[in-house]
């Protein structure tokens, strides 16, 4: 079984140790360094349909990097797109939903595919549009968020409300729905309009039992900043 280790405190690397014959896959351009015993190939995992679905769900590239220890044991270093935390999750008894742009890498036993979500969540939650990533199977899954990371344990009867721009991944057994910060009076549309104009934003309400991985920084604001910087430089 591959060993996933987070190396470094600021903008860490994901250090993966592979035994001969083992394989992982990761987001395009995630590989930073690998030993000569490893081979890297680009594959459209699951065919064109699956690649398109993952593109819509997680903003991933059509081709993923597959790293295999073909000539002996070896190590590699991976780096996420966003500067910030990396969390390693165990997929098996627990499956995870993944926000767009959060996937870093997974063992070959983890199946990452897209799942449809409700119309309301698709339009407002910004967690992947009409499709959202889901990791099933068995093995390690690495996800990343912008800034520091934290894992929240949701319990029955104790709903948790999180700004959607800070949600990285969550237990697929949790129920989630769009909401706005608590406010007296007015219907949903009125509260949505007020939320947008006041800058409070849209939140996700999680209920049930399971984990939610969050990050300290607003990843949507970071993406807007990157786009603004790119526009200014052209």
pLDDT in tens, the chain (234 residues): 899 999 987 789 999 999 999 999 998 889 999 999 999 998 765 554 555 555 544 445 557 899 999 999 999 999 987 788 899 999 999 999 998 788 999 999 999 887 765 545 544 444 444 467 889 999 999 999 988 899 999 999 999 999 888 999 999 999 988 776 655 555 555 555 554 444 456 788 899 999 999 999 886 655 554 445 544 544
Burial (CB < 10 A; 0-12, 13-18, 19+), residue 58, is buried
**Predicted structure pTM score:** 0.80
Bridge-partner residues for 170, per DSSP? 97, 212
Count the neighbouring beta carbons within 10 Å of the beta carbon of residue 92.
13
Residue ranges per structural domain of the chain: 3-233
Where does 3-233 sit in CATH, by number? 3.60.160.10
């Amino acid at each position: 079984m591959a060993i996933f280790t987070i190396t470094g405190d600021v903008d860490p690397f994901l250090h993966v140790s592979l035994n001969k014959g083992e394989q992982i896959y990761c987001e395009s351009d995630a590989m930073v360094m690998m030993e000569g015993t490893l081979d890297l190939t680009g594959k459209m995992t699951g065919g064109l349909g699956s690649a398109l679905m993952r593109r819509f769900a997680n903003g991933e590239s059509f081709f993923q990097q597959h790293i295999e220890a073909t000539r002996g044991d070896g190590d590699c270093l991976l780096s996420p797109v966003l500067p910030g935390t990396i969390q390693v999750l165990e997929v098996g008894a627990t499956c995870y939903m993944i926000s767009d742009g959060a996937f870093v890498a997974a063992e070959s036993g983890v199946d990452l595919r897209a799942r449809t979500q409700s119309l309301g969540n698709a339009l407002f939650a910004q967690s992947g549009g009409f499709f959202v990533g889901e990791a099933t199977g068995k093995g390690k899954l690495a996800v990343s968020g912008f800034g520091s990371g934290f894992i929240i344990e949701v319990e029955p009867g104790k709903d948790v409300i999180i700004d959607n721009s800070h949600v990285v991944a969550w237990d697929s057994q949790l129920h989630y729905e769009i909401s706005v910060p608590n406010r007296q009076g007015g219907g949903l549309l009125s509260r949505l309009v007020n939320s947008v104009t006041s800058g409070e934003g849209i939140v996700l309400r999680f209920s049930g039992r399971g984990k939610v991985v969050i990050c300290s920084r607003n990843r949507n604001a970071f993406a807007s900043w990157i786009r603004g910087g790119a526009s200014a430089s052209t």
